[in-house]
A and B are shown apart, each in its own frame.
Chain A
Amino acid sequence: MALGTQDRSAPAPPEPPPDRAGGGRKGSKSRKGLAPYLLTLPGVAWLVAFFAAPLGFMFLFTFYDGTIDIGYSFTSDWPQTYFEAFTTYDTQIIRSVIYALIVTVATLLISFPMMYWIAMKGGRRKNLFVLLMLLPFFTPFLIRTLAWQLVLSDQGIFLGTLKDIGLLSADFKLLASPLAVISGMTYNFLPFMALPLYVALEKLDSSLLDAAADLYSSKREAFLKVTLPLTLPGVFAGSLLTFIPSVGDFIDAEILGNPNTTMIGSIIRRQLLVNQDYPTGAALSFLLIAGILVAVFLYARALGTEELTG
């Protein structure tokens, strides 16, 4: 599954240029075929060492039982690990998925008009506008979220002012609520949605909109029949890039939420790093991965264009 859905016809690995006439070295023929693959070697090695291998170990852990003190041993009762992990934390799993869905929709609704405006009306200052939008994200995730905590705090600049002028009652709270967590996540994941959308909107040929108008489409129809279908790959890529990390996010929930907004990411982190219950943590991770894969597959099927699944 390629996230870069833009390149519908991803070209085959490029052939190296043919040898200059007369200068044919021995063995150049077989090297010609291998070279593109050799080029991918560093990347593949990196992924194997730092992604596939840890993932494999994690997967193995789900077949084990025990704790760090008594040691781990293989158990034939491993399905129980999964089952228990799920039944114990189903609330957090479902909550994570719901939050992530809301965040995906919210970032889409917020960034689509914004990026549409920049791409269509930004003129020569397009890049400046995009940079301005990204500027806050030059600060680290954690700092941003802590700042968001200040913004949402009961007597902070935002709520405090509203309370001072009497628009809100003195005991109104935003922090430590689902709304705060979702707002924080929406803010933090905005660029993941906005940038793919921008790329899709920016390469939309404005003469196609002229053509739509020429062929009796009102502005609204042109948007629905031309702009939207042609930017769907951007919507798809943005949704995945937003949804997948938000399901596993825990920083927003821990800083802005309360015990009732705990997300599955927090649980996994705690199992692995605090309780050192590796089997449960690993099982939860794989449940999450499986869930995301199923969701992504269903989503791709629902959007249903060959560009997205092919």
Chain B
Amino acid sequence: MANVRLEDVSKAFKSAVAVDNLTLTIDEGEFFSLLGPSGCGKTTTLRMIGGFEEPSSGRIWLGDEDVSGLPAHKRDVNTVFQSYALFPHLSVAENVAYGLKRQGVAKDEIGPRVEAMLELVDLEGYGQRRTTQLSGGQQQRVALARALVNRPQVLLLDEPLGALDLKLRKQMQLELKRIQSEVGITFIYVTHDQEEAMTMSDRIAVMSAGRLEQVGAPQDVYELPATSFVASFLGASNLLEGEIEGTSGEVTKVRLGVGGTVTLPAGRLTDSEGPVAVGVRPEKLHIQTTNSSEVDRGDNAIEATVVNSTYTGVSTSYECATSDGTRLVVYVQNLERSASPPGAGAKVRLTWDPDHTFAVSKARPEKT
């Protein structure tokens, strides 16, 4: 059953269109992330689902109910705000109990539920503290408890870990995942950190400039980005321009602008002819010195020159350039001690499995 559905939702502010024709379906119990750069409309989308902002057009469904016109306090949705927004005049326990009291939950039920929730977020015994006396991570957990205690259908989280340092962030990521699987509530999670989105989410929606670029499981979005924006936002994109040459059976051939052809599984292209850009992730590329062994039969290959190489211990990253100047990044794991890694200026051949080739529609219509 679809839990949250956005249908052609747009939001225009005086100065700008923050969300542009967004259609999304989020399933029950899913950990769903909205990922995108700053200002792409993630918070605005979340605020519309929460009821703090009214869509300029489009509808929002919560389960079977159209909630488009419903004010925030009548929606069965709770939010963990980026700034936590804890009530400074109330204790930790009073903060957590706030929603239950407003809903008219019986008094003798509130205490135990608050206690249980504080335990879930590892804050037992903190009930009487003032929220201003807590560390950032603890405040974050109070905010989480305050929202979850109401057992909403959907929990909205707006960059909840944004204010925490890296170590605490990693720890809270795991903890959030644990809590989500324990309570089984749908989480809609906003972040601009692609790594965070990938580690935590069941599915990711990548947004750019108010528009939806791609929705899919982390592997799909990373391995097979559908647009050049997604390709470059989730790591080095390694895109090569070309022209579709034709499809025979399971494989499509693309003639590259720099010369040579590459192949990829037929299903990855939406068009059957015309310009296209193909790409491959840096860790999928193999680097060979040109005079060495032959290319495996069926592998894609392209000639390039090393521009520079960076040794990082676990791996070495090479920046290479093709003859037309297109930059390609290659990550090579340092499995063996290489006596003579190719240095700057070395002519190399880059090869990869055709199955790792992705294609993005070349000309994404510009936003008007």
CB within 8 Å of B: which residues of A?
205, 207-208, 210-218, 221, 225-226, 229-230, 305
Q: How many residues of B sit at the interface, in one of the four size bands?
A: 20 to 34
User: What 8 pairs between A and B have smallest CB-CB spacing?
Assistant: A215-B99, A211-B85, A216-B102, A213-B72, A207-B85, A214-B79, A229-B89, A213-B73
B52's nearest neighbour on chain A, judged by CB, is A210
Question: How many Å lie between the Cα of A225 and that of B73 in the bound state?
Answer: 14
Whether B150 is near chain A, meaning CB under 8 Å from some CB there, is yes
Indicate whether B44 reaches chain A with its CB closer than 8 angstroms.
Answer: no
| B52-94 interface with A by 8 A CB criterion | 52, 71-74, 77-79, 81, 83, 85-89
Within 8 A of A (CB), among B287-301: none
Chain A residues whose CB sits within 8 angstroms of the CB of B83 once the complex forms? 205, 207
Contact A214 to B73, CB < 8 A, known contacts A207-B81, A221-B102: yes
Interface centre among A210, A214, A217, A305 (most CB of B within 10 A): A214
Q: Tell yes or no: B51 within 8 A of A by CB.
A: yes
Cα–Cα distance between A210 and B156 once the two chains are bound (Å): 13
Q: Given A205-B83, A207-B83, A221-B102, do A214 and B72 touch, yes or no (CB 8 Å)?
A: yes
Q: Is the CB of A230 within 8 A of B89?
A: yes
Residues in chain B within 8 A of chain A (CB atoms):
50-52, 71-74, 77-79, 81, 83, 85-89, 98-99, 102-103, 146-147, 150
List chain A residues, Cβ under 8 A from B89.
226, 229-230, 305
Q: Given the known inter-chain contacts A216-B102, A221-B102, please indicate yes or no for A226 contacting B72, CB distance below 8 A.
A: no
Q: 14 additional contacts, CB 8 Å, given A214-B52, A218-B73?
A: A207-B85, A210-B72, A212-B98, A213-B72, A214-B50, A214-B77, A214-B79, A215-B102, A215-B147, A216-B99, A216-B103, A225-B98, A226-B89, A230-B89
- Complex contacts, A230 vs chain B, CB 8 Å: 88-89
User: Which chain B residues border A214 with CB–CB below 8 Å?
Assistant: 50, 52, 72-73, 77-79, 81, 99, 147
CB nearest to B75 among chain A residues: A214
Chain A hits for B147, CB < 8 A: 214-215
Give, as a whole number of angstroms, the nearest-CB distance from A124 to chain B. 13
Which residues of chain B come closer than 8 Å to A211, judged between CB atoms?
79, 81, 85-87
